[in-house]
Structure 1
């Protein structure tokens, strides 16, 4: 539906209409007054009439529009707009030029900064510096096309990421997501067609999850250095993220009520009050081994540090130092497969699922918004831990339809044995063993 709208940042009027299935928004230089709105509405009504008659000439009506290439040669007859609309109106209806990608990126990032966490802001700045500005920095926003975006993505796929390997689909999607947000906001603000229309993210593999078994957990807790035993115990049985446990302060440890309050994180040498997501701000109930570990840690705590797990200087544990100097050497010593310390979090989820804990409770403890993560990532490890898949439904079916048990094991044939289920076969074997142990009853003649 065609309408006349007001640009909030400038207070000027613009036209919003559809032509050949494409939404078009063309800016005017007229301020939003009653008279100007009536004039622009009359102009828009005339455009709508010409579109209906197949006589609308986009180039003649909006000669400086960014959409001219798309609608080149669309008029079937000479447009009458030029004759019907006064010259001042035609001049004022010309679309304003858009800024360059580099100039608008400064404005956009400044506007979005208050709602972004520190690490995300740094990541966005890094993406613009390394990838977006070298390619699109000097380009006018309205000139960036869908083909340009696809070419850029194809180029990313050819670049090398960490370790000299091709850039992962996850990393490419993250870069493209920032570009999408940037261009979509510009398109909405300056009234041009978004270049990202119809472009879908690359498909990604499910994240690798390699949790430890309970036996491996106990081996690690037993063999690790004494000053890190409480640290890994809390990691294994709370599911806390690396930044959450490294940034844990004593004021957030409530031993009286048995709770760990996740309120801050510590990453890249800086503490941050906001957690990763809204759901990440949570209270974690202490399991007995966690309470015991924290009570022991309190006895040997650094007297001048507010952090639960601190180094000799009282600063939080450095994630890289712990991984390279303690964690990986320990795994090599125990001859365990190399896994990141973050796998302790995955271990928490799989052990709790295997023990039969309520999935919603586990999701809340882990800081997930819902149980979807549990069922899509962790649940495939549960069968390897319980070895009882299908036992519940099998028991239910057998209770309703008990399998027939042969009267005597001597009557069993090979065919009967092959058709018997596991429960019936076990009962038959028990009957056979019982028959072997029980002496036969004598008849009245003393003959068995």
Structure 2
């Protein structure tokens, strides 16, 4: 803000940046004193705020300015649109249209360091070449790249529908090819537990811990499916467990796909685990597996990992792997025992057998070369 001197008297001038250009506008003539200077400062702050929000109209503030004579399409800062997108996701969570875990992933993407690349830019200034360069520099797995791009793509789709941009820059980027060429290979390794390791883990469990791990090794459920399993899902006569619920970030919901709703066969070992668990949890509510520390249902994968899995691994002396390796162990055991891959896919809740062949078909550990007499063998091989 400056005081400009003219023959007719001094006037206040405010300065701000609009659409990438430095703008200076004179305020109407008035006595220059502390109050008028404060009003001018407040006006400048209001203008800057509206520019950041994308709601600034030049003609409303300076109707006699040459800049107001040729109205332009409203411009919007990217950080404002990113914030609005996050608010949209928040409303979807409140209306039960989006799970909290999905929202958490989108929030991480929208507020993360990578997304700051677009701060300070108007939405119409983002070009396809800028997107290609940004994706090419991510240095992460294809899944991580796609999770980051999903909310950003929605921002541009809304901007196009609101006529803030003439075209969606994503439509001019060959994303599939670009991600394939630039994504980093996942360093996650499928590393099933050997028979000796499984025995060590089970032996390291306390009596109130062992049934759950024994059941988990014998069913290969996803962590959320294990947490959500209820006594009503067990068919004792047919020796099956019906999987129709999954818990994600504390929320119980149906599996993502129709194949996720299934019946998992139970062998003598898993039936024995259920019978051992009955006096521990059946009278406390519908859930089968409870946190031994407080006798309440598990709420998240992280809670299972920190409260149960990590302590058991430490006590057993077995090299730590994440809990999902229990599922990989189950699949590898079935395949090594000669089970039909289509049957294994159905037991795991996969939509087709492709993932079984890709992930497990070639993986046979040394101690799996000859099926053990105690190895679980069920279904039509």
When normalised by structure 2's length, the TM-score is: 0.64
Counterpart of 1:171 in structure 2 is 144
Residue 279, structure 1, aligned to residue 279, structure 2: no
- Equivalent residue in structure 2 for 1:300, among 280, 301, 322: 280
Q: How far has the Cα of 1:131 moved from its partner?
A: 4.4
Query: Of 320, 326, 338, which residue of structure 2 is paired with 1:338?
Result: 320
Secondary structure at the residue paired with 2:360?
helix
Does the CA contact (< 8 Å) of 2:224 and 2:247 recur in 1?
yes
Secondary structure, counterpart of 1:303 in structure 2: helix
CA–CA separation in structure 1 for the residues paired with 2:350 and 2:365: 22
Question: What CA RMSD, in Å, does the superposition of the two structures yield over aligned residues?
Answer: 3.3
Mapped pair 1:194 → 2:169: yes
Picking from 231, 235, 243, the partner of 2:212 is 231
Aligned to 1:90: none
Residues 140, 314 of structure 1: alpha-carbon distance in 2 compared, 3 angstrom cutoff: same
**d(CA) in 2 for partners of 1:278 and 1:181?**
27
Structure 2 residues without counterparts, runs of 5 or longer: 1-70, 371-381
Structure 1 residue 205 and structure 2 residue 178: aligned?
A: no
Cα deviations by residue, 1:235-276 (Å, 9 ceiling, x for unpaired): 1111111111112222222323322222223343x2322324
SS at structure 2 position matched to 1:346 = helix
Structure 1 CA distance for aligned equivalents of residues 267 and 350 of structure 2: 19
* Structure 1: 5+ residue stretches without partners: 1-93, 158-166, 389-448
Question: What does residue 119 of structure 1 align with?
Answer: 101
- Structure 2: distance between partners of 1:367 and 1:98: 48
* TM-score under structure 1 length normalisation: 0.55
For residue 170 of structure 1, report the CA deviation from its aligned partner.
Answer: 4.3
Change in CA separation of 1:261 and 1:186 when aligned onto 2, cut-off 3 Å: farther
Q: Quick one: higher RCO (CA 8 Å, sep 6+), 1 or 2? A: 2
Distance 1:343 1:326 in 2: 15
Shift of 1:227: 0.8
Q: Structure 1 residues 98, 350: CA separation in 2 closer, same or farther (over 3 Å shift)?
A: farther
| Number of residue pairs matched by the alignment | 285
Q: Offset at 1:117?
A: 3.1
Cα distance in 2 for partners of 1:299, 1:108 equals 46
Structural mapping, 1:397-416, within 5 Å? none
1:352 aligns with 334
Please say which of residues 356-365 and 135-144 is displaced more in the overlay: 135-144
Query: After alignment, is 344-353 or 124-133 more displaced?
Result: 124-133
Q: 1:373 aligns with which of 343, 346, 355?
A: 355
